[in-house]
């Protein structure tokens, strides 16, 4: 009986690897091969639009992607969008280092989680480093923020929140320290985790709403400022993606 069971496993694993099916973390980009941003933009892995370049300067510096969010663009996002087989990207892990920031500023991972099943409203996922004014503190504060919420399609107006978390609020400085953020958005779970510079913990949310996947969902890394228009200079490096089953 045991022997038969082992044989079944051997056959199953052989089929698995013979078909090339694979799930797990793989390096998507380390930015080391690009001499400049034009080479990165020519890669089949990335899209940086003219609209993104209007509000932020993108460049390659020391094997990292540098994004400088310019002053005077409140509530605007600048993205480097992953475009290679995005339907099979169930997670993104990337190291983000903030050189400086002011006002309401964020450096983040963003993704379409899916759409609600009873209407086309979008479930939006983000995991980010954040700098903002805190009334309770009478000063600016910075922290890691995880968010999941529903937005109307086609207006992209906010409809309701699904989940919000803050990891390590005020425990560590952020400027000048590389943070490795793990974002996962598959299997009906929204997962947020910080491993470096310290284990700042993790948070998970189980989506109970019925939802559908999107064929070519948005996956990106980038910057944003809010109502209190800020600026930021941020480096991204060593980006891994979680490839789901083929
Ligand atoms: Ca690099």
Q: Which residues surround ligand 1, an ion (CB under 5 A)?
A: 30-32, 63, 237
Q: How far is the CA of 240 from the centre of ligand 1 (A)?
A: 12
7 within a domain of the structure (yes/no): no
Find the length of the chain.
Answer: 246
Contact at 8 Å (CB) between 153 and 115? yes
240 within a domain of the structure (yes/no): yes
Domain total of the chain: 1
What does pTM read for this prediction?
A: 0.89
What pLDDT does 13 receive? Answer: 45
154 within a domain of the structure (yes/no): yes
Cα 30 to Cα 64, 94, 117, 147, 234: the distances in Å are 7, 10, 36, 26, 15
Q: How many CB atoms lie within 10 A of CB 108?
A: 23
State the CATH number of the domain containing residue 66.
Answer: 2.60.120.560
What pLDDT does 201 receive? Answer: 81
Q: How far is the CA of 34 from the centre of ligand 1 (A)?
A: 10
8 within a domain of the structure (yes/no): no
148 within a domain of the structure (yes/no): yes
4 within a domain of the structure (yes/no): no
Structure tokens at 205: 């949310």
Q: How far is the CA of 51 from the centre of ligand 1 (A)?
A: 25
What pLDDT does 93 receive? Answer: 98
Q: How far is the CA of 187 from the centre of ligand 1 (A)?
A: 30
Domain that holds residue 189: 21-244
Q: How far is the CA of 32 from the centre of ligand 1 (A)?
A: 5
CA 3 to chain centre: 45
C-alpha closest to that of 108 among 226, 213, 187, 245: 226
11 within a domain of the structure (yes/no): no
Flag residues of the chain having pLDDT under 70. Answer: 1-22, 246
What pLDDT does 7 receive? Answer: 53
pLDDT digits (tens, 9 = 90+) for 78-96: 999 999 999 999 999 999 9
176 within a domain of the structure (yes/no): yes
| Burial category of 78 from C-beta neighbours within 10 Å (exposed 0-12, middle 13-18, buried 19 and up) | buried
* Largest separation between any pair of C-alpha atoms in the chain: 70
């Amino acid at each position: 009986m045991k022997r038969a069971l082992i044989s079944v496993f051997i056959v199953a694993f052989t089929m698995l690897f013979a078909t090339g099916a694979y799930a797990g973390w793989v390096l998507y980009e380390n930015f080391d091969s690009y001499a400049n941003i034009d080479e990165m933009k020519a890669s089949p892995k990335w899209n940086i639009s003219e609209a993104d370049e209007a509000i932020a300067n993108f460049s390659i510096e020391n094997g990292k992607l540098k994004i400088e969010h310019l002053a005077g663009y409140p509530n605007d996002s600048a993205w480097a969008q992953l475009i290679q087989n995005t339907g099979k990207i169930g997670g993104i892990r990337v190291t983000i280092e903030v050189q400086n920031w002011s006002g309401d500023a964020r450096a983040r991972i963003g993704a379409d989680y899916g759409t609600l099943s009873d209407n086309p409203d979008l479930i939006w996922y983000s995991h980010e480093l954040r700098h903002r004014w805190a009334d309770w503190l009478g000063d600016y504060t910075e922290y890691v923020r995880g968010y999941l919420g529903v937005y109307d399609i086609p207006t992209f107006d906010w409809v309701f929140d699904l989940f919000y978390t803050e990891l390590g609020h005020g425990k560590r400085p952020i400027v000048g320290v590389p943070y490795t953020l793990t974002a996962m958005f598959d299997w009906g779970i929204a997962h947020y985790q910080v491993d470096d510079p310290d284990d700042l913990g993790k948070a998970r949310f189980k989506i109970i709403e019925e939802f559908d996947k999107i064929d070519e969902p948005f996956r990106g890394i980038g910057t944003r400022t809010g109502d209190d228009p800020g600026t930021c200079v941020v480096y991204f490096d060593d980006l891994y993606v979680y490839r789901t089953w083929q």
